[in-house]
Homo-oligomer: A and B are copies of this chain.
């Protein structure tokens, strides 16, 4: 096990009817809130009105920033910062999934500092220790885990960059997580969320740090539960327990506890972020399109762990098979799972051809090799993208 520091102060308020805790929580921090939302579903399901009623009850004003897109854009972040300054906002409330919460985080650090917020993403300015405006969220999609971590991913369309903000105090002060708000998420978004959960955990799981049995079992438990409940949610989108299980899987997948003491890889996430900078694809769809190719490419660096994954998560019987065969079977099953639930397993399905692969591979490895299971230079990344075509 390697040394680590873990801290996560977000207050999770989980379950049916927990929106009634929004007013009391908000009242601790502010009197004028920026409500950040996405494409309109929050209004369609009546959640926006419930939130406004809750704010009214506690005499809290609000201004609104709607229309945050998947792969949230820097432009929207600038617009949010401007709104906050105009209206003297003292709290940011993200209502939606990972994109909305990520935008809220970027606005939070942006408002509290005079420099251009993008410099925290490019790390021209160190975000650690920078002040932030407090933020919270009401979650409506099980996917990114952004509701219980400090990370935010924002796309700059001008520079064609999709970058991660981390290392700063952009933890939501609270996250209200009512699984019922996810009932109406369109099936393909639900599924991409599940893919995100599975891949996020596996990027922490596949590591060359030896002897981390507790971390391994927690990761396997999240992945196995997410897979089982993905099959279930397709059949029963309004089953409370299924939605609750997926929501809690999503949070524990990316509050980073499951991988503490290991060394996370994140190679696939960086490659997907590069895809996302060029093409407007759903994050989960981009992940499932390349992850099996990544697994096949790096597997030989740690066959025993890929075998353990195959046996424990997919219950593959290792009898009479070589370790490599068992490991490969685990990868095949992962790919078959993505296919079965309707998530792409190739870039072709996303209308991505080899046009930009050279430049994408160049750019994503510019700062050095990707990943940890196997260090991936430009040519490695190019091969993985090509395998995924």
A-to-B contact residues, CB < 8 Å: 1-18, 210-215, 217-218, 220-222, 224-225, 228-229, 240-241, 244-245, 248-249, 252, 257, 260-261
Which residue of chain B is the closest to A241 with respect to CB atoms? Answer: B211
A264-B240 Cα distance, complex, nearest whole Å: 21
Residues of B within 8 A of A218 (CB): 217-218, 221, 252
How many monomers of this protein are in the complex? 2
Residue of B3, B12, B217, B245 near A211 (CB, 8 A) is B245
A174, chain B: closest CB distance, angstroms: 8
Residues in B with CB closer than 8 Å to A241 are 1, 210-211
**CB of A204 to closest CB in B, whole Å:** 14
Whether A221 and B225, one on each chain, are in contact in the complex, defined by CB atoms closer than 8 angstroms, is no
9 nearest A-B residue pairs (beta carbon): A3-B15, A217-B221, A7-B11, A211-B241, A9-B9, A214-B225, A6-B12, A1-B244, A213-B225
- A214 vs B179: C-alpha distance when bound (angstroms): 15
Which of A12, A213, A244 counts the most B-chain CB atoms under 10 A from its CB? A213
Q: How far is the CB of A261 from chain B (nearest CB, A)?
A: 7
List 13 A-B residue pairs with CB atoms under 8 Å apart, sorted by A's residue number.
A1-B241, A1-B248, A3-B15, A3-B17, A3-B18, A5-B13, A7-B11, A7-B12, A9-B9, A12-B260, A14-B261, A217-B221, A221-B221
| Residues of chain B lying within 8 A (CB to CB) of residue A249 | 214
Contact of A217 among B8, B15, B217, B260 (CB under 8 A): B217
Complex CA–CA separation, A7 to B176 (angstroms):
12
Tell me, in angstroms, the Cα distance from A248 to B213 when the chains sit together.
10
Using CB atoms, name the residue of chain B closest to A4: B14
Additional 5 contacts, C-beta under 8 A, given A3-B14, A8-B9, A213-B228? A3-B15, A4-B12, A4-B15, A213-B225, A257-B257
Minimal Cβ-Cβ distance residue in B for A210: B241
Q: What's the Cα separation between A221 and B216 when bound, in Å?
A: 9
Closest chain-B Cβ to A302's Cβ sits at a distance in Å of: 17
Query: In the complex, A15→B3 CA distance in Å?
Result: 4
Q: Compute how far the CA of A339 lies from the CA of B8 in the bound complex, rounded to whole angstroms.
A: 38
Q: Which residues of B contact A222 (CB under 8 A)?
A: 214, 217
Q: Select from chain B the residue with minimum beta-carbon distance to A12.
A: B6
> B residues within 8 A CB of A248?
1, 214-215, 260-261
Q: Which residues of B contact A13 (CB under 8 A)?
A: 5
Contacts of A18 in B (CB 8 A): 3
Bound Cα distance from A39 to B9, whole angstroms:
33
With known contacts A1-B244, A221-B221, A245-B1, A14–B214 Cβ distance under 8 A? no
Query: Quick check: A10 and B11 within 8 Å, CB to CB?
Result: no
A261 — which chain B residues lie within 8 A by C-beta? 14, 244, 248
A19 to chain B, nearest CB (A): 12
Residue on B with the closest CB to A228? Answer: B213
State how many angstroms separate the Cβ of A175 from the closest Cβ of chain B: 10
Tell me the complex Cα distance, A11–B11, Å.
15
Given that A1-B244, A15-B2, A261-B14 are known contacts, is A224 also in contact with B217, CB under 8 Å in the complex?
Answer: yes
A229 to B12, CA, bound (A): 31
Give Cα A241 to B3, complex, Å.
11
